[in-house]
Amino acid sequence: MERHLVGGNAWQQTGPYQRDLAAAFRQEQERELALDNHGFEGRSIEELWRDPEWHEYIFTGGTGTVLDFPLMIDAADTDEGPFMRPLTDQEVRAWAPSGQPTHDEWVEALASEQLDYPGRGCGNCTVLYREGQPTEIGYWGVTAD
């Protein structure tokens, strides 16, 4: 799903769960890059983020995916993007009181605006559950353009 906001496009996607959210994020980036390298053939995520042409590409349009962020920061970090930031437990419980949101609850919270999209050039993520077990990670963000 992509939603157009003033100055950026909102997007969402999911990836497989891993206990280490930063490792899961990097794995999802690698998967996404394998699906579409956006014309930057044969480069790793790290190489892309050292390339000024990639910066220009991301900051003037972006991919609308996890590729738009060089790294994941801590949930308590308040730095502005372009970073992927997991939600804090308190942020999750604001829209999913159980603290274990399902995929459907996450989609509904985004659609109903009970869960906000971050600012331009920023991304968020949270663990999603099925029958009380973590099964995937929901990622969502807004392009920098």
DSSP string, 29-76: HHHHHHH--TT-TT--HHHHHT-HHHHHHHHTT--SSGGG-S-BPPTT
Q: Which region, left, alpha or beta, applies to residue 81 given φ > 0 means left and ψ of -120 to 50 means alpha? A: beta
pTM: 0.93
Euclidean distance between CA atoms 92 and 98, whole angstroms? 9
Residue 145 is predicted with a pLDDT of 83
**Mean per-residue pLDDT pooled into runs of 10, the chain (145 residues):** 62 97 97 97 96 96 96 90 94 97 98 94 97 98 92
Residue 7 is predicted with a pLDDT of 64
Residue 6 is predicted with a pLDDT of 53
